[in-house]
Amino acid sequence: TNAIFDPSFKIGFHGSLFATFNITRTFALQPEVFYTRIGTRQVDGNTRLLWNADHIGGSLLFRFGKSRAERPFVAPSVVVGPTLAYNWDAFADRTPSHPDADFTPQSLDYGVTFGIGLDFPVWIGALTLNARFTQGLTSIENSVLNQKNSALIFLLGYSFK
């Protein structure tokens, strides 16, 4: 589309719980459950769309990189995997409204997540820094705009051994 995105991006919140299961010295599975607040502000011609959504979901990330046991000072990693989220709550405001297209948010959003991370050993675990990008593969609603979710996520956390 010829959409022009408002230069003031929307900042949301992401919180998650995860576990890492080492399969080999350099490969692990990392299932996660999360809550994310996402949104957008978009202008397309005379149409303005404001969208906020609260998602509860999960990811199964494939983690590549040496384990903390292999790298005692810093453990870099790369993650990639599928994501499925339930649209728990959504708010949308479209101006002007389209008489032929009612804004009906999708209840499920599936996509793919990929990113990089660093684990720093601290006490009995590790301080975790991650940068990720999640790209939705389904439209956020059934109408003429046909937009998909995408999010750049920065994570700071702590993992136990």
Range from 20-24, 85-89, 112-116 carrying the lowest mean pLDDT: 85-89
**Cα distance between residue 83 and residue 69, in whole Å:** 28
pLDDT of 56 > 50? The answer is yes
pTM of the model: 0.80
With contact defined as beta carbons under 8 Å apart, do 118 and 75 qualify? yes
With contact defined as beta carbons under 8 Å apart, do 61 and 17 qualify? no
Q: Six-digit token pair at 2?
A: 């010829």
Q: Six-digit token pair at 56?
A: 């509860």
Give the residue-averaged pLDDT of 13-38.
92
Give the residue-averaged pLDDT of 116-141.
89
